[in-house]
Amino acid sequence: MNGLDLLGPEQRGLFIGGSWREAEAGKRLDVVDPADGSVLTDVADGSVADAVEALDAAVAAQASWATTPPRERGEILRRAFELVTERADAFAHLMSLEMGKTVAEARGEVTYGAEFFRWYAEEAVRIHGRWMQAPGGGSRLLTIKKPVGPCLFITPWNFPLAMGTRKIGPAIAAGCTMVVKPASQTPLTMLALAAVLEEAGLPGGVLNVVTTSHTGEFSETLQADDRLRKVSFTGSTGVGKVLVRQSADQLQRLSMELGGNAPFLVFEDADVDAAVDGAMIAKMRNMGEACTAANRFLVHSSVAQEFADKLGKRMGGLTVGRGQDDGVDVGPLIDERAVETVSQLVTDAVHDGARVVCGGQAPDGPGYFYAPTVLLDVPVDAEINVQEIFGPVAPISTFEDEADAIRMANDTEYGLASYVYTRDLSRTIRLAEALEFGMVGVNTGLISNPAAPFGGVKSSGFGREGGFEGIEEYLETTYVALPAG
Ligand code: NAD
């Protein structure tokens, strides 16, 4: 099984109004294997007219979907959870092929991604308002929750399944319809997911998927349409800002899951071996191509050399190769540009005085690989500490005390994930309160959990996905004033 068999030929098309079809202009879009640059297959390249048709279908389905009983909406999600779980191996292979991550990692994403369907299957039946007496007596206050309406979802290539289910799950549960545009590098997983939802009994028009290379025109046209009520985007901060601007005329509701620059703080009282274990996860999950990836290792000067040596040994021992091959720990990056960006950041850091503990270069092609790299003595203001690396590189800088560490950690435009290693409980509380990030991992390198509210502050965006909070992004509140009777 190589995963491509999850999709029949018609399912490499557009999914609109419950039917699979070709793009209006008959255009196709190549999907490339990042391990060698070859073309895996192709999918429909939807036009703006196709996008509008997808919105038409979402709008047509909205009223009946909003009144479909919550239990029914939940059961569809539950069936989809079961189907994805049954086909976990095929989904993992498909994702590995189009995105590059190892099959083992992709299996982890299938478990994580499918769980959003199970979690929101359970939440669908717990949408409720409240009834209260007005504080001054007399009237009664009633609130009703209603679905926001037709949504547009735009997802990135790094987690092709989970970034979709985090939006689709709560939207289905809340009674919203949607148009989804997956990243053009990784459209296959989303198409396979649409096929699963169709099989699970989702009515036509609730979910519409348009694969397209015309990204700018696509979002501009749909956001100018007053029938679209909500945009949820996961991707880079630059594109997020464009979508926020485009939402102004129609005042669409927004959820923005944008870039990160996570600090990974290791204090002098930390268990250094545990910190290295956590660092391997926080840095190397998805080859470093994660918004939650530890981007800056800020380590107390008294333990920095020990931490660097131990991390270097682990990183240097990883096997780089094709994600589907046995024994491979680290797959390719998404494309050539990603390798160039990472190479440049490392070259500049070394020029600024960083020492290479391991790695430090891209192996010869084919494929878009970069060697797992650890850098020590990286100047705090080096570009590699300022921007998202999105690759398997761990730059280590040092601090002298807690105030210094907090100041350095917060000195970024981003505010998504942060990680802290310390054995001091009082310090943990101080840090959790002082760090300007949406998420703080304490003595762990893995924070993502479908039951937890995932999201950021500052240039990392706003809104939360997962947890009890995630469904609120898809609900409006109507307040009803009633006399006392
Ligand atoms: P990207 O912003 O380049 O692309 C994301 C999506 O937006 C893709 O589907 C792309 O085709 C689309 N797009 C690009 N321009 C568009 C436009 N003008 N209108 C409509 N759609 C447009 O990001 P990427 O390279 O795919 O993903 C990596 C980025 O995503 C990183 O910055 C990463 O931190 C971020 N990310 C954030 C989270 C989070 O939850 N905060 C999760 C995963 C990834």
Dihedral angle sign, alpha carbons of residues 181, 187, 189, 191: positive
Catalytic residue among 151, 176, 291, 358: 291
Q: Taking 90 as the threshold, does the pLDDT of residue 364 lie above it?
A: no
pLDDT in the model for residue 141: 97
CA dihedral for 34, 36, 42, 45, sign (positive or negative): positive
- Mean of pLDDT over the chain: 97
108: CA distance to ligand 1 center in Å?
21
Sheet holding 393-399, edge to edge: 355-358, 373-376, 393-399, 294-300, 262-266, 417-421, 439-442
Whole-angstrom distance, CA of residue 51 vs CA of residue 28: 15
Which domains are assigned to the chain? 4-258+460-480 (3.40.605.10), 262-449 (3.40.309.10)
pLDDT in tens, 421-445: 999 999 999 999 999 999 999 999 9
Share of the chain above pLDDT 70, in %: 100
Summarize the confidence of residues 237-258 as an average pLDDT: 98
Confidence of residue 243 (pLDDT cuts 50, 70, 90): very high
Q: What is the pLDDT of residue 476?
A: 98
Pairing status of strand 178-181 against strand 207-209: parallel
Q: What mean pLDDT do residues 159-187 have? A: 98
How many whole angstroms separate alpha carbon 376 and alpha carbon 392? 15
8 A C-beta contact, residue 463 and residue 255: yes
- The four Cα atoms 460, 465, 471, 472 give a dihedral, to 10 degrees, of -20
| Ligand 1 centre distance from Cα of residue 93 (Å) | 22
Task: Give the contacts of 465 (CB within 8 A, at least 6 positions apart).
Answer: 166, 167, 170, 255, 257, 453, 454, 455, 473
Q: Is the pLDDT of residue 365 over 80?
A: no
The confidence band for 484, taking pLDDT boundaries of 50, 70 and 90, is confident
- Report which secondary-structure segment, H or E, holds 153: strand 151-154
The catalytic residue among 53, 109, 115, 257 is: 257
Whether 161 contacts 189, CB under 8 Å: yes
Q: Cβ-count burial of 128 within 10 angstroms (0-12 exposed, 13-18 middle, 19+ buried)? A: exposed
258 Cα–ligand 1 center, Å: 7
If you take atom 36 of ligand 1, which residue's CA is the nearest one? 235
Report whether pLDDT(485) > 80.
Answer: no
367 confidence band (pLDDT: 50, 70, 90): very high
Q: Of the ranges 317-326, 359-368, 384-393, 453-462, which one carries the lowest mean pLDDT score? A: 359-368
Q: List Cα–Cα distances, 77 to 67, 80, 201, in angstroms.
A: 16, 5, 9
Q: What is the pLDDT of residue 1?
A: 65
What's the 369 CA to ligand 1 centre distance in angstroms?
A: 21
Ligand 1: which of 215, 418, 437 to mutate, judged by most atoms within 8 Å of the beta carbon? Answer: 215
Query: Which of 158, 231, 285 for a ligand 1 pocket mutation test, highest count of atoms within 8 Å of Cβ?
Result: 158
Determine the pLDDT at residue 2. Answer: 80
pLDDT at 372 over 90: yes
The mean pLDDT of 324-341, rounded to a whole number, is 96
Write the single-letter amino acid at 296.
R
In which band, very low, low, confident or very high, does the pLDDT at 147 lie, cut at 50, 70 and 90? very high
The alpha carbon of 463 and the centre of ligand 1 are apart by a number of angstroms equal to 16
Q: Tell me, yes or no, if 257 is annotated catalytic.
A: yes
Report helix, strand or coil for 215: helix
Report DSSP letters for 395-438, one per residue: EEEEESSHHHHHHHHH-SS--SEEEEE-S-HHHHHHHHHH--SS
Three-class DSSP category at 459: helix
How high is the pLDDT of residue 354? 98
Q: Closest Cα to atom 42, ligand 1: which residue?
A: 291
CA-220 nearest atom, ligand 1: 19
Q: Which residues surround ligand 1 with Cβ inside 6 Å?
A: 154-159, 163, 181, 183-184, 215-216, 218-219, 234-236, 239, 242, 257-260, 291, 388, 416, 456, 460
> Strand order of the sheet with strand 19-21?
19-21, 14-16, 207-209, 178-181, 151-154, 230-234, 253-257, 461-462
CA of 233 to the centre of ligand 1 (A): 7
Which of 2, 172, 160 lies closest to 70 in space, CA to CA? 172
| pLDDT at position 237 over 70 | yes
- Nearest Cα residue to atom 39 of ligand 1: 257
Q: What is the Cα–Cα distance from 128 to 168, expressed in whole angstroms?
A: 20
d(CA 279, CA 284): 8
Beta carbons of 93 and 5 less than 8 angstroms apart = no
CA–CA separation, 307 and 396 (whole Å): 9
Closest ligand 1 atom to Cα of 454:
40
Cα(74) to ligand 1 centroid in Å equals 29
What gap in Å lies between CA 113 and CA 237, rounded to an integer? 23
Mean pLDDT, residues 182-193: 98
Choosing from 55, 99, 154 the residue with most ligand 1 atoms within 8 A of its CB, the one to mutate for a pocket test is 154
